Each structure stands twice: as structure tokens, then as C-alpha cells.
Amino acid sequence: MDKELIQKLANYTHHAEKEKQEIKKITADLYPELTIDEAYLVQEELVRQKLEEGLTIVGPKMGITSEAKMKQMNVDNPIYGYVFDNMVVEEGEPVSVSNYIHPKIEPEIGFVLKKDLEGPGVTALDVLLATEYVFPAVEIIDSRYENFNFTLPDVIADNTSAAGAIFGTYLRKPEELELDVVGVTLAINGEIKSLGAGAAVLGHPANSVARLANMLSEKGEMVKAGQPILTGGVTAAVPISPGDYVQVKYGGLGDVSFAVKE
């Protein structure tokens, strides 16, 4: 895959994100043979373009972290992308749908490490020992592709649908909670739309961070201390619309609430 094609595909998804216009997936016409490895090259170029524009990486995010979803997509590993500073919505601030194409939200359990983690061979125990604190979070995903219709390489090339993040301010030490049994409910306008537990994320959210460290090590990179890490959706993603009031409650880990506006 030559550099010119990598740039072309990164430009394609980047432009769609900036213009808030949905596009056909890359594998539909543009480059049907796109592989997972090639998709990460496109993602790297997309990240480079964003950094060149003056944006900064806040932290990594994981996707396809449900065992059922991995089986459905016939993959052995979850996927990763990056949250940038322009994507962060401060807790308590409204979320404006005009910033997105067709946004959905996912409750997540976030981690911040006190020391860098470098694979291979990182385990969930390594992650827990290296964790400064965990926190409640809500990720806003917004695939640039029509109808959220994509293959795995497509979504990787689109920075795993990363669009927004709300980082809750209720912080706990990981040893204070059994993260696999932390229950989560997502309610919109008082009606529960989705629920789950921490075990929905690869059996335990720490497994997600371990997978991330081991995947990044293949590129000579590591999970850095101090960066918020989104470990993957605890519940199914739910669409949001103007006028919605969202309340996400986490057992023993506080809650995150916000209004949705035009």
C-alpha cells in the first residue's frame, strides 16, 4: 500500500469528519481489499493530519470489546483509536448534535495509569497494579460511514468512530471495586435504554487495557501514564437526539448526566 493511497484514504475520512457528512465505507468502492494492517496505516496518517492541525491526543480508546461482537466480526483482537482534545465535552455541559453526523453514546469505565505499560505479555493484574484510578465515562461515537455500516478495516481507518468523550469526575482506586461486576444503566428522559456490567468489556475492563498495551507494543509504542483510557462500551450504543436528558449510573462509581441540544 503506497503512501499516496494511505493519504487519500485518510483525507477521505478526515474530510467527512470535519464537514460532518456521511460517506460510503472505503471497502464499498474506493479500496475494497483494505486489510486491518493497512487500516491502521490509514489511521496513523489521520492522526498525523490531526496533530499537524494543532490538535493533541488526550488518550486512547478501545472498540469491539464485547466477546459476542468479536465473534460476530470474526476477529481475535479488539481495535483502538484516539480521543483528541477537540472531542472532549466537559461534565455538566450539554452535548450538541450539530457537532456530529449521527451520534450514539456508550457508557465506559475509564482508567488512568500511574506508570507506563509496555507489552508484550501485559496482563490484567499488571494493569490493576499500574492504575492510579478508574472513573466513569461516556463516549460519543459517530461513524462517518452511512448508517454506521462498515467492515472492521473501515472502522479502524475512521479512528474507530471516535467523536466525543465525557470524563466523569468520580475517581476510585481499582482495589475499591470489583470492576467486572460494576453495574451500569443508561437512561434517556428517565427511561432505561441499555444496561450492562463491567464484565461485558472482555470479561474485565483491565483486560482491555492489557490488550491495548500488547497491541501497541507491536508498533514499539506503550500505554502512557496520566492519559485517560476508554476501555470499551459496557452497554450497547444508544442514539441521542436534541431534547434528550441522559443519565448514566455506575454502581459504586458515580454517574454522568448531560442534556442534548441541537
For 24-78, write each residue's pLDDT tens digit.
Answer: 999 999 999 999 999 999 999 999 999 999 999 999 999 999 988 888 888 889 9
Q: What is the mean pLDDT of residues 131-144?
A: 99
- How wide is the angle at C-alpha 80 spanned by C-alphas 78 and 83, nearest 5°? 145
In the chain, count H helices and then E strands: 6, 12
The CATH homologous superfamily for domain 3-116+129-199+226-261 is Fumarylacetoacetase-like, C-terminal domain (3.90.850.10)
For residue 85, pLDDT over 90 is answered with yes
Long-range (24+ apart) CB contacts under 8 A made by 197-200 are 197/234, 198/109, 198/234, 200/65, 200/66, 200/233, 200/234, 200/235
Q: What is the mean pLDDT of residues 122-142?
A: 99
Across the chain, mean pLDDT equals 97
pLDDT given for residue 74 in this prediction = 84
Place of cell 495509569: 113
